[in-house]
Structure 1
Amino acid sequence: MTDAFDPRTAAIVIVTFNRAQLLARALESVGRMDPKPGRVVVVDNASSDDTASVVERFQSELDTELVSRRLDENTGGAGGFSEGMKTAYALGSEWIWLMDDDVEVLPDGLARMGVWAPRFRHVQGRRYDYDGSEFYWQYRVSTALGIPIPFAPAGFDESGYREMNSGCFEGMFIHRSLVKRIGLPDPRFFIYWDDTIYGYLASRYEPCVIVDEFVLQRTRSIKQWDMGTRHLNASSDMYRYYIMRNRGIMSHYYRAHGDYRPLAFALGTAATFAKELIRLGFVERKITRRGWSNLWTGMRDGLALSRDRSFEIMAPLED
């Protein structure tokens, strides 16, 4: 790409669920941005708090168009980002910037991302953690194993970027031309691995990069195990189920693109199971019967999904 970046062609997509106060902070940060995006799309995953009133307030306060989509049921992050991307795409946005409700956008965040827009169609910026520390995101995935590579270098050279073959919906900045070729994020993931697969698909078409630009700040504290550069965050029993179950969906995407290696992928599934046990023991300091059970149930359901011959991956978008 060579065209100069116009911030008015960008849309920020925020997915929220029952975190009205965090959503308000996110929208306040949009108000401080310079430059600002052309529009903001808020996807409300059927919240039961006062999220609707927060959205209504900012529709009149922001000097940027705010489009609201309230879903009839909670479709998880995957469903929310799928609907948000669909909305932004239908409205004609050239660039779509995805994020959760528990971050603030740094004032010059869009300008920093826009610097890379003429060169790449899929860009991932960096994020400060809640305490101001630099968050390390595992941007490389072993396709054979289907898991992140934990020792991928954290530093950057003089180029200011590193190529990635994954994605993260907390900060994914993607061009509509690439969205058209991939299709929408798969809402069947509900939560977890959805952005990993979407980034994998993007990297099959275009060089995708994480850049040495801090553009987001987390606004919610998460219990974690500090391992130096890397951290292991606390999770939940629901997450543990989907972490295992969704590997069945992942296998279909890898299979469709000729990258599925059954034995290696099974090893990656075992490694994922072990990692979740470590998370239970060292981060949350509890190994409950429910947590253990959700891992087993998720793995069982994932195996059944992987064997479902009627499963079809998401299709590219039409004009």
Structure 2
Amino acid sequence: METVAALVVTYNRLADLKKCLDTLRQQTRPLDAIFVVNNGSTDGTAEWLATQPGLAVTTQANLGGAGGFATGIDTAYRAGHTWVWCMDDDCLAAPDALAALLASPNLGPCIKNSMSVSVNSREELAFFVDRPHRAYRKVSDMTGVDLVYDVASFFNGTLVHADVIKTIGIPDKNLFIWGDEVEYMTRAQKNGFPIVTVPSSVFYHPASFDRDGIPWPAAWKQYYAVRNQRRVLQNQYGNTVGRLLFASWAAKATIKQATATRANRLYNFLLYGEATLDSLTNNFRKRPDTIRTLQFYNWRHK
């Protein structure tokens, strides 16, 4: 008998977490287990979770989304579940979201993603997707078909089969945030597992935004998006070609930051350069408080 475990990773968003868990408890196809990984929240999350029945809770230091999903997927997989349904704490699942995923065409071991719809506009996707011959912006771009191949918004209603986990392992916690989900997706593709979005399964999520335009000091997160891109390209094109493609892309992106007219371009330039150098020297140890550009920014803005 197939079993499905939900996995929610949370960090300092207790109000969102409560709403997310409510939608999981209301699924028309009841879940067999709900795992929650608390990434060291300081907003009362741990205390509230301790009062909740029916949850398997792991509390750890803040290891970012990558570390949270690495812990959670490993825990659910070791518990013997057939499928692990992964999501951030700001996701809201439609009542039949899980039932629709399970009722969609059988692809064997695979990854099936719910369609992520913006909470602000039910006609717009939460995450825009560009493919060589098709752009996905509206809900209508995905509806009308059973499956949309090679499109998925990890980890927002992402249903992963145990055989996929057995083959490709768990997310790399060293990636911390931003890019870890794409690296995991391309790792699955590299190993030949189908990845699809199921439009009949709906998740609601805050809309994505232009990461390059995030104001400082929050723009430090872009460090990880740049640094982790090398791993994505190497999954797609092999180690040597992927590394060369990353070096070329990162150099152009760094120069673009230096010549942009946007505010804080100095810090953006330094951040991109630091991320590029760290990636090429295989330095994946940095956490937010050790990013030198962020330290420099904070020193100048005491």
Shorter-normalised TM-score: what interval?
A: 0.7 to 0.9
Aligned to 2:97: 109
Q: CA deviation at 1:53?
A: 2.2
Q: CA deviation at 1:75?
A: 0.4
Residue 197 of structure 2 corresponds to residue 247 of structure 1: no
Structure 1 counterpart of 2:117, from 122, 128, 133: 128
- Structure 2 counterpart SS, 1:179: helix
Query: 1:167-212, CA deviations, whole angstroms, 9 ceiling, x for partnerless residues?
Result: 6112221100111000111101001111112111212322221222
1:92 counterpart letter in structure 2: G
CA contact (8 A) 2:258 2:265 kept: no
2:282 counterpart letter in structure 1: L
Consecutive unaligned residues of structure 2, counting only runs of 5 or more, are: 285-302
Q: Distance in 2 between matches of 1:126 and 1:165?
A: 10
Residue 42 of structure 2 corresponds to residue 55 of structure 1: no
Query: 1:91-148, CA deviations, whole angstroms, 9 ceiling, x for partnerless residues?
Result: 11110111100111111110111112632521111112120332154557xxxxxxxx
Distance 1:174 1:199, change over 3 A: same
Higher share in helix = 2
Consecutive unaligned residues of structure 1, counting only runs of 5 or more, are: 60-64, 141-148, 226-230, 308-319
**Percent of aligned pairs with the same residue?**
25
Structure 2 counterpart of 1:304, from 258, 261, 281: 281
- Structure 1 counterpart SS, 2:95: coil
Relative to the length of structure 2, the TM-score reads 0.78
Q: Distance in 2 between matches of 1:279 and 1:131?
A: 30
Q: Distance in 2 between matches of 1:217 and 1:104?
A: 5
1:33 counterpart letter in structure 2: Q
Aligned to 2:293: none
- Structure 2 counterpart SS, 1:124: strand
Aligned to 2:245: 264
CA contact (8 A) 2:63 2:173 kept: yes
Greater relative contact order (Cα < 8 A, sep 6+): 1
- Structure 2 counterpart SS, 1:57: coil
Q: Distance in 2 between matches of 1:203 and 1:139?
A: 17
Q: Distance in 2 between matches of 1:206 and 1:35?
A: 25
2:225 counterpart letter in structure 1: I
Q: CA deviation at 1:213?
A: 2.5
Structure 2 counterpart of 1:188, from 140, 162, 174: 174
Q: How does 1:38-187 map to 2 (within 5 A)?
A: 38-59=32-53, 65-71=54-60, 73-116=61-104, 118-120=106-108, 121-133=110-122, 134-135=124-125, 137=127, 149=131, 152-154=134-136, 155-156=141-142, 159-164=145-150, 168-187=154-173
Q: CA deviation at 1:254?
A: 4.9
- Structure 1 counterpart SS, 2:120: coil
CA contact (8 A) 1:26 1:102 kept: yes
Q: Distance in 1 between matches of 2:283 and 2:11?
A: 29
Q: Distance in 1 between matches of 2:19 and 2:37?
A: 16
Q: Distance in 1 between matches of 2:241 and 2:28?
A: 44
Q: Distance in 2 between matches of 1:157 and 1:288?
A: 40
Residue 201 of structure 2 corresponds to residue 211 of structure 1: no
Distance 1:38 1:51, change over 3 A: same
- The more displaced of 264-273 and 123-132 is 264-273
Aligned to 1:19: 13
Aligned to 2:295: none
